[in-house]
Amino acid sequence: MTNPQFAGHPFGTTVTAETLRNTFAPLTQWEDKYRQLIMLGKQLPALPDELKAQAKEIAGCENRVWLGYTVAENGKMHFFGDSEGRIVRGLLAVLFDCR
């Protein structure tokens, strides 16, 4: 699998688990939480078609969703993905921030 270029996205650097907690904790309305997920999804870089072809498309989802991974020389795994759905993209962004 081609090693994707992930430079330029904020997840794990400026968007951290702590910033996510601080952002979502005061939100009490589901509409506000969805809006925030959509905003996070907009920060997730679009997956190039080449990587979509290599990634696994998840069957059964209402929107198209692709997930894939690479393994670095040190054995560390890096997951990547994309979705046509705005909320699912936001959920992927939250998931990719987890370490």
61 carries an active-site annotation: yes
CATH of domain 17-97: 3.90.1010.10
- pLDDT for the residue numbered 76: 82
How many other C-beta atoms can be found within 10 angstroms of the C-beta atom of residue 3?
Answer: 10
CB 41 within 8 A of CB 50: no
Of the two residues 95 and 15, the one the predictor is more confident about is: 95
Q: What is the pLDDT of residues 39-81, one digit of tens each?
A: 999 988 888 888 888 789 998 878 999 998 888 888 888 888 8
Give the distance from CA 98 to its chain's centroid: 10
Task: Return the domain boundaries, the chain.
Answer: 17-97
**What percent of the chain stands above pLDDT 70?**
84
pTM (two decimals): 0.79
Q: How far apart are CA 19 and CA 27, in angstroms?
A: 13
Task: Spot the catalytic one: 17, 53, 61, 95.
Answer: 61
How much is the mean pLDDT over the chain? 84
Neighbour-count burial for 36-58, b at 16+ CB within 10 Å, e otherwise: bbeebbeebeebeeebbebbeee
